[in-house]
Copies of this chain bind each other. A is one copy, B any other.
Amino acid sequence: MSGFARFLPHIAALPATVPFVGPESLERQSGRRFIARLGANESAFGPAPSVIEAIRAEAACAWKYPDPEAFELREALSAHLGVPIGQITIGEGIDGILGHVVRMIVEPGTPVVTSLGAYPTFNYHVAGFGGRLVTVPYREDREDLDGLLKAARREKAPLVYLANPDNPMGTWWPEEDILAFARALPEETMLVLDEAYGETAPASALPPADAMLSMPNVIRTRTFSKAYGLAGIRIGYAFGTTETIALFDRIRHHFGVGRLPLVAAQTALKDQAWLQWVVERIAAGRERIYATARANNLAALPSVTNFVAVDCGADRAFAAAVVRELGVQGVFVRMPIAPPLDRCIRVSVGLDGDLDAFAEALPKALKAAGR
Contacts and interface: CB of A to CB of B under 8 A. Distances in A.
Contacts of A66: 22, 232, 234
A188 B47 contact: no
Interface stretch (A166-174, A241-249, A296-304): A241-249
A264 B60 CA distance: 11
Given A1-B187, A188-B6, A59 B52 contact: yes
A139 interface: no
Contacts of A18: 68, 249, 254
Interface in A87-126: 92-93, 95-96, 99, 103-107
Interface in A236-260: 241, 243-244, 246-247, 249-251, 253-260
B64 A42 contact: yes
Contacts of A56: 55-56, 59
A232 B62 contact: yes
Given A3-B243, A241-B3, A59 B63 contact: no
Interface string A18-47: 111110110010000000010010111111
B3 A256 contact: no
B232 A95 contact: no
Interface of A: 1-8, 11-12, 14-16, 18-22, 24-25, 28, 37, 40, 42-47, 51-52, 55-56, 59-69, 71, 92-93, 95-96, 99, 103-107, 128, 158, 187-188, 190, 216-217, 225, 229-234, 241, 243-244, 246-247, 249-251, 253-261, 264
A251 B128 contact: yes
Nearest to A61: B232
What 3 A-B pairs are tightest by C-beta distance, nearest first? A232-B259, A14-B250, A24-B67
Number of copies: 2
B247 A7 contact: yes
A217 to B, nearest CB: 5
A249 B11 CA distance: 11
A56 B260 CA distance: 11
Given A55-B59, A63-B44, A63-B47, A247 B1 contact: no
Contacts of A258: 232-234, 258, 260-261
20 contacts: A4-B241, A7-B104, A8-B106, A11-B247, A20-B254, A22-B66, A42-B65, A47-B62, A51-B62, A56-B59, A62-B229, A63-B230, A92-B253, A93-B255, A95-B253, A128-B251, A231-B255, A232-B258, A233-B258, A234-B256
